[in-house]
Amino acid sequence: MSVFFRTTGTMGGPEFFVRPSSHSLRAVRVPVIVAVLERPDGLLLIDTGWSRRTCAFPHDDPGLAHSLLLGLSVKPEDALASQLISQGYVPSDVRHVVATHLHADHVGGVVDFDRATVHVHDRELDATSRGLRGGYASSVRSLPRVAPYTLDGPPALGFPFSRDLFGDGSVLLLDGRGHTAGSVVVAVKLQEGWALHAGDAAQYVGEYRADDAAPPSLYARAMSWDLSEQRRTYGLLRGAEATLDARVVVSHDPDLLSTLPGTKEAAWPCLWDRRKGASKPKPRG
Ligand SMILES: [Zn+2]
């Protein structure tokens, strides 16, 4: 089992909006980072990024106004389903999608993986049905393959609630609320330490690493469901880095993507390789 990371195109905005403590009008491009885990039963995605349709026709979906607002820059080949083919897989190899939260830039692409079970925190599903704030891919609610779960497991990795997705400790779902009501941090056990995909728990690595007195970015303040809960999650991510040798990934940090493995050849090996040693799914090509 191993994990690597891709982006489905970029979004953009003025630096003063997305980066904490910046006053610059300089335009910055930000990625939409998703994780691809190779597992014995196929692939697991942490978020999907934008869909094939959006990457081909962004002016239709999410629409011209929304595309301009987000500074969306996508090409047909940016869709994760297309990128997986370039990595030797086919979309039907994807058996599980875990959503960090249900904003459209994170889960719009679930429609491209019709064999995958989509694991969604029940609090997040509830938030979309009640229309708490905007940006949700509300169509996810009606997908037949959505598997809601409750975070009712014991504390793990310093987080107060958890869920062991496969019951083997290889993928833990952790309460990362703040950006949205049901945001989760997805922890993947590596051979050495943990990888924590935190979605939009923070915009930049520097945001959650700052001390409690530092103001978060304007973006974080504008988009946050509950800023005090989000600050609590910042502290939990700092703690995981400090005590667990955790590698934290946030979706939209432009400086982070180049530091992450981007192909299956460079992927970080996971616990499963060492513990069970069974054969990996066979990539095509
Ligand atoms: Zn979000």
The per-residue pLDDT for 132 is: 54
pLDDT in tens, 92-148: 999 999 999 999 999 999 999 999 999 999 999 988 877 656 677 767 777 779 999
Domain boundaries along the sequence of the chain: 2-272
The per-residue pLDDT for 134 is: 65
Q: Which residue has the tokens 């833990």?
A: 172
- For residue 255, report the distance from its CA to the centre of ligand 1, in Å: 18
Beta strand 268-269 with 246-249: parallel, antiparallel or unpaired? unpaired
pLDDT in tens, 189-208: 999 899 999 999 998 898 89
Q: pLDDT confidence of 13, banded at 50, 70, 90?
A: confident
The CATH superfamily of 2-272 is Ribonuclease Z/Hydroxyacylglutathione hydrolase-like (3.60.15.10)
Write the single-letter amino acid at 221: R
The per-residue pLDDT for 193 is: 93
The per-residue pLDDT for 277 is: 44
- CB-based neighbours (< 5 A) of ligand 1, an ion: 103, 200
The answer on pLDDT for 22 being more than 90 is no
pLDDT in tens, 136-188: 776 777 777 999 999 999 999 999 999 999 999 999 999 999 999 999 999 99
The per-residue pLDDT for 280 is: 45
Q: What mean pLDDT comes out for the span 16-21? A: 81
The per-residue pLDDT for 133 is: 62
- For residue 47, report the distance from its CA to the centre of ligand 1, in Å: 11
Where does residue 216 rank: exposed (0-12), middle (13-18), buried (19+ CB within 10 A)?
A: buried
Q: Is the dihedral of CA 6, 11, 14, 17 positive or negative?
A: negative
The per-residue pLDDT for 213 is: 67
- Residue 15's alpha-carbon distances to 5, 126, 223, 252, 258, in angstroms, are 24, 33, 16, 13, 19
Q: pLDDT confidence of 285, banded at 50, 70, 90?
A: very low
- For residue 274, report the distance from its CA to the centre of ligand 1, in Å: 34
Tell me the three state secondary structure of residue 125.
helix
Tell me the backbone φ, ψ of residue 268, rounded to 5 degrees: -75, 130
The per-residue pLDDT for 282 is: 47
Angle at 227 between CA 221 and CA 231, to 5 degrees: 115
- For residue 273, report the distance from its CA to the centre of ligand 1, in Å: 32
